[in-house]
Amino acid sequence: MKKLNSKLALIVLAGFLAFGLTGTIFAAGPTTVNLGAAGNFVVLTKSGISTTGTTQIVGNIGVSPAPATYITGFGLIMDSSNVYSTSSKVTEKVYAADYAVPTPSSMTTAISDMQNAYVDAAGRTLPTATELGAGNIGGMNLAPGLYKWSTGVTIPTNVTLSGSTNDVWIFQIAQNLTVSSGAQVILSGGAQTSNIFWQVAGQTTLGTNSVFNGNILDQTAIVLNTGAVLNGRAFAQTAVTLDSNTVNKPVVQVAQTITATTQTTIQQLGPITISKALNQMSREELTNTLLRLILTLIMQGKLTHL
């Protein structure tokens, strides 16, 4: 009986340690893509950003090596420092390669990091699925993972990304990414925009009044048609074209452990003390604790297979 209790205690403790009660939750899917200095921007391009209509952007935007004259439709107002400009359409700042020091160097770094992020995402191996839906992912519910297509991808109807706070999705698309008018990329279960990466070799087009979530890493151009909403980032190695759009920078949420009380207890006592306490439990108490742990992880989406 004592040996059985010890084994159960080790299982429960392993569950505590593996699933975040020491302050770390293991993520499903691939490791995240490091955006580096590019992460300071919500729209970043090499050759230009243009807009018409009532576009609103939450975050910084920038171009390099193109000069500020390639940012059109924003009614830019130069700051007295000449380091950045502002616009009524942008909540933060606007940067260009021909602004005053240190902006040229900062922009070069941001563009380099943008390109590195693209290469990183494109180079990931061991995909979760290849050629899913023959490139049509409308109506699907996608778990965290690495998805790869040798063709273009279309989203004619809503697609849902289901996962928890730390989970990561990477989509490798060899041709164009096209989202139909009114279609949405929906997030479920705590999935975060900041952890979704769409690596696109061709052009990305978001249809009229569509809603898109994730970071677009595009080797060519990104076009948002009238009224499209992007929650994430638009990184284009050519240009970004906007038309009465809303672009919101990702809001990063801190992952939570199973319960704040349990986390505090674990941190205060440490795994060795907890292990001793578990070994003192009866077989029934240990079994009930393990079942509660499993049920909690299932409800939080951190455990899908037993």
All structural domains of the chain with their residue ranges: 2-25+260-299, 37-248
Confidence of residue 280 (pLDDT cuts 50, 70, 90): low
**Average pLDDT, whole number, for the chain?**
86
Lookup: tokens for 71: 């940012």
145-178: burial string, b at 16+ Cβ within 10 Å, e else? bbbbbeebbbbbebbebbbbbbbbbbbbbbebbb
Confidence of residue 274 (pLDDT cuts 50, 70, 90): very low
Separation CA 59–CA 56 (nearest Å): 10
Separation CA 231–CA 249 (nearest Å): 6
Res. 171: pLDDT tops 80: yes
Is 0.85 topped by the overall pTM? no
- Which of 77-81, 246-250, 271-275 comes out lowest in average pLDDT? 271-275
- Rounded to an integer, what is the distance from CA 96 to the centroid of its chain? 25
Q: For residue range 100-128, what is the model confidence (pLDDT) as tens digits?
A: 999 999 999 999 999 999 999 999 999 99
List the 185-188 sheet strands across, edge first: 141-142, 159-162, 185-188
